[in-house]
């Protein structure tokens, strides 16, 4: 009985490893990692560096001063109000499948939503 169980387990292991070796390798294009900037009209301060939730910028003007690079992200805190301000993104972006891209998200305590 032990021999049958052991033989069955070895056969199963052989089938699984053989099948796994026939799966084509997946190679993903490496996504360019950029800088994430945080903006909060609630808790931000324009003297901050804008690189973390705790050191968020207060106005969109600080983002407008930066030339964004491919893959950079701008996170706007949920509930922030930017009266008489507009986002004017500078930079060349990156040619990805459908043209130039940057990411601008709403952030809410560690989570993001498009």
pLDDT tens readout for residues 46-58: 999 999 999 999 9
Strands (E), 2-110: 36-39, 73-77, 103-108
Beta carbons within 8 Å of 72's beta carbon, 6+ residues apart = 34, 35, 36, 37, 91, 102, 103
Where does the pLDDT of residue 29 fall: very low under 50, low under 70, confident under 90, or very high at 90 and above? very low
Which range is most confident: 6-10, 50-54, 69-73, 94-98?
50-54
pLDDT value at position 10? 65
9 pLDDT above the threshold of 80:
no
pLDDT value at position 70? 79
pTM over 0.75: no
Q: What is the mean pLDDT of residues 72-96?
A: 82
């Amino acid at each position: 009985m032990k021999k049958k169980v052991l033989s069955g387990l070895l056969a199963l292991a052989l089938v699984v490893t053989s099948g796994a070796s026939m799966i084509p390798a997946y190679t993903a294009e490496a996504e360019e990692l950029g800088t994430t900037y945080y903006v909060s009209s609630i808790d931000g301060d324009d003297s901050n560096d804008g690189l973390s939730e705790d050191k968020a910028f207060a106005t969109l003007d600080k983002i407008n001063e930066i030339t964004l690079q491919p893959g950079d992200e701008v996170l706007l805190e949920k509930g922030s109000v930017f009266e008489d301000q507009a986002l004017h993104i500078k930079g060349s972006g990156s040619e990805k499948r459908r043209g130039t891209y940057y990411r601008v998200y709403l952030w809410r305590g560690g989570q993001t939503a498009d």
